[in-house]
Chains A and B, each alone.
Chain A
Amino acid sequence: MSTNAIQTNTKWWNGGRSPFNVSYGKVMMWYFLMSDAFTFGAFLISYGTIRFSVNNWADPNHVFNAFPFAGHANLPLAFVSLMTFILIFSSVTMVLAVHEGHKMNRKGVEKYMVLTILGGLAFLGCQAWEWTHLITGDHAVLVNGQIEHWGTTVSKNPWGHEVMHEGAMVATPGPIAFGGYFFGITGFHGFHVFSGVIINVVMLIKTRLGHFDQRGHYEMIEKAGLYWHFVDLVWVFVFLCFYLI
């Protein structure tokens, strides 16, 4: 491993100065993000445990198959891939803002921060639509021999397996935990996106007021960027756990 270290030109600390060569604020942001990663990890692992412990789970391709203005067209994965690309793209504009900050280019930072904020708002809009669609979209469910119409909420959902009822296939109530985990985890992630947008707006205002030019560096943009990329990182795993598998 140490020979490898020499080859790749990265160094181990050998005393005399700050071991990490990173400012206090950035180290603390990393530690916060690590603790946040464990929080999200705990949520997702708990979801996985419950999913492993039951015989049936809702089929994501069946639950998430709608697209705005597409009526009842069956489009599995389409809307969530749009959301994923929005978030990846806003991550790119964020890293470009950090890059402009290194060059001390205020106009460039402002431009890319605005694009990042717009990306975040677009993602939140998509999530609002998706939640509304799930909560208000009724589906026929067979409950105690009666047909009822249910949306997807934290207490009940219509995504169970289908059974034959009076000559037609009809769904049964889905796993009770599905709604709680879905709304809980995507909600917690959405809240992170929301607070990330707020942080980015504050950074944009501070950039416009010239605070970072006075300070002589744009390190605050880097710290906000770390948080924003983390939000994208979490989405990668939420996307995997809820929509793909």
Chain B
Amino acid sequence: MSEHAVSSPEITFSPEHASGTKKIWKTFWILSIITIAELGIGLAIYNIHKGPDPSAALVLFFKGMVCILTLAKAYYIVSIFMHLGDEIRNMIMTIVVPLLLFVWFITAFLWDGNAWKNLRNTDGGSRTAPTEQVQQHAPAAVDNHEKK
């Protein structure tokens, strides 16, 4: 079966594979730099938490940044290392389009988790939520109120 993979009628061309390894090493450096940037942001979050006046908004901003950087890394791994970028567009679409379901999965489930937290903190809506919750390091919620 796979003996004929190259010559079989279903395969009409083999994609032009790069002749050099330049692209691979370039991708390696891109991935490394993104990872170092992520670590830098991780340490920034750590220091914000440790600091005297942690800002919840700033931490959220940095966490969003790390998520975007992670998606960039995923793009490079799938597109270059797994050669999906070299395949025919139908192939790319049949992999990428089903993964779009994740957008709603993530939205719906995190929303649900947050709703559970609200129910928990209000005893199912029978009392108003406490204005500040117990925080591990410092009450970030209080900080936000002061800024308003």
Contact = CB atoms under 8 A, between A and B. Distances in A.
Contacts, number: 187
Interface in A63-82: 76-77, 81
A149 interface: no
Interface string B18-42: 1001001101100110010011011
Interface residues of A, number: 70
B5 A20 contact: no
A13 B95 contact: no
Contacts of A52: 110, 113-114, 116-117
Query: Chain A contact residues: over half helix, strand or loop, or mixed?
Result: helix
A21 B12 contact: yes
B90 A20 contact: yes
A216 B73 contact: no
A92 B82 CA distance: 11
A46 B3 contact: no
A101 to B, nearest CB: 10
Contacts of B13: 21
Nearest to A48: B110
A59 B102 CA distance: 26
Contact of A55 (B38, B49, B87, B134): B134
Contacts of B117: 52-55
Interface residues of B, number: 70
A30 B95 contact: yes
A23 interface: yes
B22 to A, nearest CB: 11
B2 A21 contact: no
Given A34-B98, A88-B28, A92-B24, A11 B2 contact: no
Contacts of B52: none
Interface of B: 1-3, 5-6, 8-13, 15, 17-18, 21, 24-25, 27-28, 31-32, 35, 38-39, 41-43, 45-46, 49, 63, 66-67, 70, 73-74, 77-78, 80-83, 87-92, 94-95, 98-99, 101-102, 105-106, 109-110, 112-114, 116-117, 120-121, 133-137
For the complex of A and B, list the 4 residue pairs with the smallest distance between their C-beta atoms, beginning with the closest. A52-B113, A18-B10, A53-B116, A49-B113
Given A20-B87, A245-B67, 9 more contacts: A21-B15, A45-B110, A52-B114, A53-B114, A55-B133, A56-B135, A61-B42, A244-B38, A245-B63
7 contacts: A18-B10, A20-B87, A21-B12, A22-B87, A77-B42, A77-B46, A99-B18
